[in-house]
Amino acid sequence: KAGVTQTPRYLIKTRGQQVTLSCSPISGHRSVSWYQQTPGQGLQFLFEYFSETQRNKGNFPGRFSGRQFSNSRSEMNVSTLELGDSALYLCASSLAGYFYNEQFFGPGTRLTVL
């Protein structure tokens, strides 16, 4: 069974640009969660999608958005990039959500904002 895949693995952008990250969950998993990991803040929850609907949301500004498609693949978008957005972005999939099941993490996308 294929694991969680994230693309791209590495990304370099400049301030003010926007970026879209993609996450393909394990087949059969309907929940996808997104996290930001930085050395200073550790892991922080961005949002969770379940069956194409955002079910939970962390405390991030509106520049961070996401969506989920009917095949459960999810995308995360960050608009008007800031230097502080440089981080490892991780997605995790689970059958029904982190509230119910263990999560399986992808390898992450490392975003560098210059």
Partner 1 sequence: KNEVEQSPQNLTAQEGEFITINCSYSVGISALHWLQQHPGGGIVSLFMLSSGKKKHGRLIATINIQEKHSSLHITASHPRDSAVYICAVIGGDSNYQLIWGAGTKLIIKP
Q: Cβ of residue 43: shortest distance to partner 1, in angstroms?
A: 4
Closer to partner 1 at the Cβ: 42 or 70?
A: 42
Q: Which two tokens stand for residue 62?
A: 């509106």
- Least gap, CB of 70 to partner 1 (angstroms): 24
Question: Which residues are near partner 1 by CB under 8 A?
Answer: 33, 35, 37, 42-45, 55-56, 58, 88, 90, 92, 98-99, 101-105, 107-108, 110
Closer to partner 1 by CB, 35 or 49: give it.
Answer: 35
Cis peptide before 8 (omega within 30 of 0): yes
- Output the smallest distance, CB 10 to partner 1, in A: 12
Nearest CB to partner 1, comparing residues 65 and 79:
65
Identify the CA nearest to 3 among candidates 110, 111, 103, 109: 103
CA atoms within 13 A on the CB side of 69: 9
Q: Please, which residue, 28 or 42, has the CB nearer to partner 1? A: 42
CA-to-CA separations, 107 to 22, 40, 55, 63, in angstroms, rounded? 12, 20, 23, 23
Token look-up 């309907």 returns 30
